[in-house]
Amino acid sequence: MKIALVICLVALATAAPQHPDKDAQIVLEERSDTADGNFYYRFETSNGISEQRTGTPGSEGQSNMDGAFRFRLPDGTIAEVRYVANEYGYQPESDLIPKPHPLPPHAIEQIRVAEEQRRKGITIDK
């Protein structure tokens, strides 16, 4: 239920008209619902906002969904977020989402040495 609420809020926030786009119109809308938990919808607006989502019944009683939404950023570029929402939670993917910096080589080597020592039973007293 929480996943569905989050997704609905994201969709509403994405679709909410901004001041310059107050006259945006829906230019495409497709819907399909088989009443057994399977559904599909897609829409596009005249100002570049779009979303498509497919849903299926989940193994834990939830609705599994996958889809994407797009919107125009202030600089005119198009932002896209692809996502899966299922029993493992909401899993978005986008260039907009910050990614952790990769570990430097010396840190990776320290981790490797520590794991090797752990396997050998070496411990360090504090």
How high is the pLDDT of residue 116? 93
Looking at the structure of the chain, the number of domains it has is: 1
Of 67 and 9, more confident: 67
* Mean pLDDT to the nearest integer, 18-28: 78
Query: Beta strand pairing status for 50-57 and 39-45?
Result: antiparallel
* Mean pLDDT to the nearest integer, 35-53: 92
Query: What are the tens digits of pLDDT across the range 52-105?
Result: 999 999 888 888 999 999 998 989 899 999 999 998 899 999 988 888 888 899
How high is the pLDDT of residue 5? 53
Residue-range definition of the domain harbouring residue 68: 2-97
Q: Is residue 20 part of a domain?
A: yes
Q: Is residue 17 part of a domain?
A: yes
Asked if the model's pLDDT at residue 14 lies above 60, the reply is yes
Q: Is residue 79 part of a domain?
A: yes
- The Cα–Cα gap between 23 and 45 comes to 10
Q: What is the reported pTM?
A: 0.60
Q: Is residue 29 part of a domain?
A: yes
Q: Is residue 123 part of a domain?
A: no
